[in-house]
Amino acid sequence: MDDDGASETYPEIDSVSASVLKAAGVKMTMLPSLTKEDLRDLFPGPENFLRRRHIWQLVHGDVESQKSNCPVLDTSVSSPASSVASSSASTVILEKSTPSTSQEDLLSGRRAFIDSDVMKEQDRPTKILQAYPCFKELSHIIDELHRILARGNPFFTMELKKRWLRFFNQAQFYGVFKKFIGPPLQDQVKNALAVLKVLPQMFPSHVGLPKRLGHPSDALFHILTSAEDPNTYLQSRPLVSPVVIVCETNCILAIGTVPLLTFPKEDLSESVMYLLGCYYTFHLTYPKCIGTLLSVLQTDVLLDAIHEKDMTTSYKKAMAEWRKFHE
């Protein structure tokens, strides 16, 4: 997107804000109709407070100063530790209330920008995060997945977790049956790693691996050695797809060359849901080496049907064997 062109369309507004407004279809003449909640949807998070305040004061500054001496926007900034909790609270509100028409339009505009073909696959994560840094929070990624797949279902997240847990437990027994894995381990983290390691083998794609990728599971996660640095690893990784980096004390969810967030190692078994959320949120193509696995998860865990023409021979065979195992 041409930042200079955007700035000319939105005078007195910085280029990043102008690009977001343009992507959402919000013209300069529409700014007076935006509420403070609309601005928070467009520019979420404390890091965008000054942007929200500038746009609001640009349009309403004189009127607000006549009404009250109070700040025109909420100046409270949550700490990083409380950001997830506040995001969760906003999720509950969204799920229990009906978004206004303007909010729906803004969210639809954001989705249209993300799904557009103007960005190359390798540039997509960086450009989307520049426009919408809120996606560096897990709650926003899951919220976006919710809006894409089941907007009207207030229990989506809870049901998704239940389906994934059921799939994970069944996959352990399936792996034992296929002789890819031994009995479940007592250690929660080691057991999760053992299952994630063999998932691509249980649902194989039968294609060659990209260079510098030693095993199909490397497209899902990577165990960082003591001599490795996460940023150096991401720079050398041959894929731009989301990945979980397992460190000594925690895990990092990354996409492209950008580390998004950290989460406890005890949640490693749920990390596949985070990866799926990233694929949908950032509108990314499945890597061929784990395409069958992700397609199985798409239909069995996300309940998102695959069109007949997109069903590969590997997918059809894997699904037939998986269903036969459960009969």
Between strands 258-264 and 221-223, the pairing is unpaired
pLDDT in the model for residue 97 = 45
Please report, in tens digits, the pLDDT of each residue of the chain (327 residues total): 444 444 447 778 888 888 888 888 888 888 888 888 788 888 887 778 888 888 888 887 644 433 333 333 333 333 333 333 333 333 333 343 455 567 777 888 889 989 988 888 889 999 999 999 999 999 999 999 999 999 889 999 999 999 999 999 999 999 999 999 999 999 999 999 999 999 999 999 999 898 889 999 999 999 999 899 999 999 999 999 999 999 999 999 999 999 999 999 999 999 999 999 999 999 999 999 999 999 999 999 999 999 998 899 999 999 999 999 987
At 30, list the tokens: 């529409």
- Percentage helix, strand, coil, to 5, in the chain? 60, 5, 30
58-94: b or e for each residue (b if 16 or more CB lie within 10 Å)?
ebbeeebeeeeeeebbeeeeeeeeebbebbeebbeeb
Task: Give the number of C-alpha atoms closer than 13 A to the C-alpha of residue 212, restricted to the C-beta side.
Answer: 8
| Helices H / strands E in the chain, number of each | 14, 4
Query: CA 285 to CA 240: how far, in whole Å?
Result: 10
Residues facing 245 on adjacent strands:
222, 252
SS3 category, 260? strand
Q: Is 152 exposed, middle or buried (0-12, 13-18, 19+ CB in 10 A)?
A: exposed
Query: CA 39 to CA 23: how far, in whole Å?
Result: 14
Find, among 294, 300, 296, the residue nearest to 278 by Cα.
Answer: 294
Strand ranges (DSSP E) for the chain? 221-223, 243-246, 250-255, 258-264
Cα dihedral 248→213→160→264 (10° resolution): 10
Q: What is the DSSP letter of 14?
A: -
Query: CA 285 to CA 29: how far, in whole Å?
Result: 37
Task: Give the number of C-alpha atoms closer than 13 A to the C-alpha of residue 150, restricted to the C-beta side.
Answer: 16
22-50: b or e for each residue (b if 16 or more CB lie within 10 Å)?
bbbebeeeebeebeeebbbbbbbbeebbe
* pTM confidence score: 0.70
Q: Indicate the residue type of 222.
A: H
Q: Indicate the residue type of 93.
A: I
Query: CA 177 to CA 180: how far, in whole Å?
Result: 8
